[in-house]
Structure 1
């Protein structure tokens, strides 16, 4: 009887683990709470296995990964196209809108522990000189990573 109870509990744990995965939406905006040309939210804390949907609100936006955890799949969407990304690896994901990089249109997703934060910060250092506006935006997002 104990063996049956243990197997039932274990099965339930696996079933509910998949049910806990969430879907998050990140909008690509011309104007948002952090100014012009932003991803909203610019910083997102997600769980391993969650799905992130990047939604352009204007046909001029794109999104692509800049720095991602080891084992994660790089992502890139064409200009004006939505993309859905499943975050299966723990760490920090840094992404950009190439068309609006001079306006610091970048974002950060944290999944679990920030294992690769030092690598992401190095990538951020190479991106930052390209910013003409909102030069502190990426620093503000990275400061939220804990």
Structure 2
């Protein structure tokens, strides 16, 4: 009888949220000033861990590129940083010091349409976002 109760409790338990790791590089095999991966598709409630694999990077939400109701965030430079994303939608992420050099990534939380890119994006950031979107059609 105890084993049946245990099985019922386990079946009724909610699925555990996942933690996804993103590394931040000055240069990798995929190019300069880059997040790896540059695109994540995650479930609401999942956590993203940003790891400063090489120095001088952070992770910050891009103004105008987070879902309505989501809280913006910004880590410190060289900080191992965790953020839990609960609001479904697309999140544009930048490295503050290297934004103009195109150090950006995209996180899709739940089912989300492709984001509209703000008009004021630096040229290299726009190019990288366009490449990310082309490689990951939504």
Q: TM-score, normalised by structure 1?
A: 0.77
Specify every segment of 5 or more residues in structure 1 that has no aligned partner in the other structure, as ranges.
1-7
Task: Tell me which residue corresponds to 1:49.
Answer: 45
Partner of 1:4: none
Structure 1 residue 145, shift from structure 2 partner: 4.3
Q: Are 1:141 and 2:135 an aligned pair?
A: no
Q: Does 1:98 align with 2:96?
A: yes
Deviation, structure 1 residue 41: 0.2
The alpha carbon displacement at 1:135 in A equals 5.8
**1:139 CA displacement:** 0.4
Residues 105-141 of structure 1 show CA distances to partners (whole Å, capped at 9, x for unaligned) of: 00000111115x4xx4232x32143x3xx76221011
5+ residue gaps in structure 2? 1-7
Aligned residues: 129
| Paired residues for 1:1-146 under 5 Å | 12-13=11-12, 15-17=13-15, 19=16, 21-66=17-62, 67-115=65-113, 117=114, 120-123=115-118, 125-129=119-123, 131=124, 136-143=127-134, 144-146=136-138
Root-mean-square deviation over aligned CA pairs:
2.2
More helix by share: 1
